[in-house]
Amino acid sequence: MFEVISRKNHPVSAYNPFREMEEFERNFFGNPIGAFFGSKDLAEFKTDVTDEGDYYLLEADLPGFDKKDIHLDINGDTLTVSAERHSKVEDKDKKDKVLRVERSYGSYTRTFDLTGIDANDISAKYENGVLTLRLPKKLEIVPESRRLEIE
């Protein structure tokens, strides 16, 4: 159902003492803010998926979001979870009062493959900053066996 693909899948190679420095330099000059604040982590939220036998349980950390700002969309065999956090700086009345903004805001999206999931029976709840989805597995239809008579 869920395909896990490691983005840091590097083949084993000889030790290079300069690799970390080169990676730091690449991150720093490619995206200076990202090197210190890990902006890659802001683009997606963390999820856990467990196999509970007849269903999968997906738990996504979405702290600080309003329930109305979280959207679940199913298109074919793809589930898209998106959430949007608004900044207080966007409010014109509060704009002059803001001295510092460190919390992240913007749109966050993850997609999941629903192959093997009964999409009509998915249930969701959002509580204490955690979105929980119950994804029931499709029942396997076992073809009945029968014997054909020869004429």
Closest CA to 117 of 57, 45, 44, 47: 57
Global confidence as pTM: 0.61
What is the tens place of the pLDDT at every residue in 30-79? 544 444 444 444 457 899 999 999 999 999 999 888 899 999 999 999 99
pLDDT in tens, 111-134: 999 999 999 999 999 999 999 999
Q: Flag whether pLDDT at 100 surpasses 90.
A: no
Q: Is 59 exposed, middle or buried (0-12, 13-18, 19+ CB in 10 A)?
A: middle
pLDDT score of 39: 44
